[in-house]
Chain A
Amino acid sequence: MKTIFKILLILVVAVMIGGTFYGAVTASSSGTDGTILQERPQPGDFPLDGEFTPPDREDFDDGVQFPAEMIKSLVIMTVVATVYLNITKYFGRKKPAMPTSL
């Protein structure tokens, strides 16, 4: 029962944050440059082997590709973690030692 309550609490907070984001995005994008498509494109809307490929589908259907994005993510995390650890280590070392006795 406690666990269900915790899960519900997490979901409620997530929905609140998500709702805020959704409101902010829709409010900022509505009536600006007409980029909103009212209908999601359906599979039949585009010819399968025709001359047009939807821009956001172009690379996903070409089979398994080299996981460059995975390596990019790993590099970002490694660099950030290394920089952070070195900075905290450096400032930790720079702290003046507290006198143990007078």
Chain B
Amino acid sequence: MSKQNINKLLLDLGTFITLLVVSAPRFTGETIHEWLSLALGGAIVVHLLLNWNWIVEVTARLFTKSAKNSRFNYVLNWALFASGIMIMLSGLMISKSVVPFFGLTLPQNMSWKELHEVSTNITMILMGLHVAQHWNWIVSMFKRIFTPSIPAQTASPVLSIQRKDART
């Protein structure tokens, strides 16, 4: 198993757990919720960088017949990205720790709070679909980690354009 695959799995696992923790501001407290969310934004940027090749390949071949299967995944990922931005934006607009820390004052609009909650729920639904799309890869990776003696089974590709890094 390649080192990059392990890095990806660890990053994705960490991001997923952070997302769960961040989704409970009453559990963490408001300050941790806001700063951890900001860190989560950074983790998502790294996630995108690690999967950059796939993004470029599918974007280039989006309207060709060969990208038929990956089109749904591509649109789903864009929707997830947009809803994530909506969470960040609405979160910053109602921020009580991060924005004041930088000495900024934003006009407060009560609709941002509602949007923050709505976009969080949408993101959770999209994240469920995102995990489901990559379920075979996740299971395959965990099998390889915990049973290294068993020859690695190739995960059934979710995408018609197979990920270059899916093989060891």
Contact = CB atoms under 8 A, between A and B. Distances in A.
Contact of B106 (A40, A68, A88): A40
Most buried by A among B23, B30, B94, B128: B128
A74 B20 CA distance: 7
What's the interface size class on B, roughly?
Answer: 35 or more
Interface size class of A (residues with CB under 8 A): 35 or more
A2 to B, nearest CB: 9
A61 B107 CA distance: 23
Contact of B131 (A38, A62, A69, A77): A77
Given A10-B48, A40-B106, A69-B24, A17 B129 contact: no
Interface of A: 3, 6-7, 10-11, 13-14, 17-18, 21-22, 25-26, 29, 35-41, 56-57, 59-62, 64-70, 72-74, 76-82, 84-85, 88
23 contacts: A6-B48, A10-B48, A14-B85, A18-B88, A21-B85, A22-B89, A25-B112, A26-B109, A29-B111, A37-B110, A39-B107, A60-B29, A64-B28, A68-B26, A69-B26, A70-B21, A70-B23, A77-B125, A79-B128, A80-B132, A81-B135, A84-B128, A84-B129
